[in-house]
Amino acid sequence: MTTALVDFVYATMHKRVNNPDSPYWLPKILEQIRTPDGHSLSPLEVDAWPLGALSGEQGETIAGTIADAWWIFVKRAFKKAKDAGVPDLPKDLSAFISQRSDTDQYPTLALSKVTVAGLPNASVGDLTGLAPTENGYRGTVRVKAAAYDSHGYQPQVTIDGRYQLDQHVIVIDAPRTAGLKPPTRTVLKGLDAYGVDWPSQQIEGRGQFRVAVTDLAFDVRLSIEVTGTGAGRTAKATVESIATVGAPVFTLDQGHLTIEGDTISDLNKQIWIQSAVTAFNSPDAAKALTAKLAAALDADDFRTRFSASVTEQLDKALDNVFGTGTLPAASGRPPTGDGPLEVYLFDRVRASLNDTGSGFYPPTVVKSSSDPKLDPLSIDTIDLGDQQVLGVPVNFKLNDVTVSGISDVLIPVEDAALVSEGVDATLRFGRISQTLLTVKATVVATFVKSGDQLHGTMNTTAQQPSVALGLSFSGPDADDLTIGLRSLTVGVDPAHLDINVHVDQLPDKVLHDILNTAEIKAGFIQGVQDGAVQRKDDIAKALTDNARKVIAEKLSG
Map residue 530 onto helix, strand or coil.
helix
Beta-sheet strands, E only, within 304-452 = 377-389, 392-404, 409-410, 416-419, 422-429, 437-447
246's enclosing H/E stretch is none
Which pLDDT score, from 0 to 100, does residue 330 have? Answer: 72
For residues 94 and 175, give the distance between their C-alpha atoms in angstroms, rounded to a whole number: 9
Please say whether the dihedral angle defined by the alpha carbons of residues 122, 123, 126 and 132, taken in this order, is positive or negative: positive
The one-digit pLDDT tens for each residue of the chain (557 residues) are: 478 889 999 999 999 999 999 999 999 999 999 998 889 999 999 999 999 999 999 999 999 999 999 999 999 999 999 999 999 999 999 999 999 999 999 999 999 999 999 999 999 999 999 999 999 999 999 999 999 998 889 888 999 999 999 999 999 999 999 899 999 999 999 999 999 999 999 999 999 999 999 999 999 999 999 999 889 999 999 999 999 998 999 999 999 999 999 999 888 999 999 999 999 999 999 999 999 999 999 999 999 999 999 999 999 999 999 998 889 887 655 666 678 999 999 999 999 999 988 889 999 999 988 888 899 989 999 988 898 888 899 999 999 999 999 999 999 998 998 888 889 999 999 999 999 999 999 999 999 999 999 999 999 999 999 999 999 999 999 999 999 999 999 999 999 999 999 998 889 999 899 889 998 899 889 989 998 999 899 999 999 999 999 999 999 97
For residues 314 and 9, give the distance between their C-alpha atoms in angstroms, rounded to a whole number: 10
Q: Among 339, 244, 348, 271, which Cα is nearest to 72's?
A: 271
Do the Cβ atoms of 498 and 460 come closer than 8 Å?
Answer: yes
Which pLDDT score, from 0 to 100, does residue 1 have? Answer: 47
pTM as predicted: 0.87
Which pLDDT score, from 0 to 100, does residue 477 have? Answer: 95
Which pLDDT score, from 0 to 100, does residue 418 have? Answer: 86
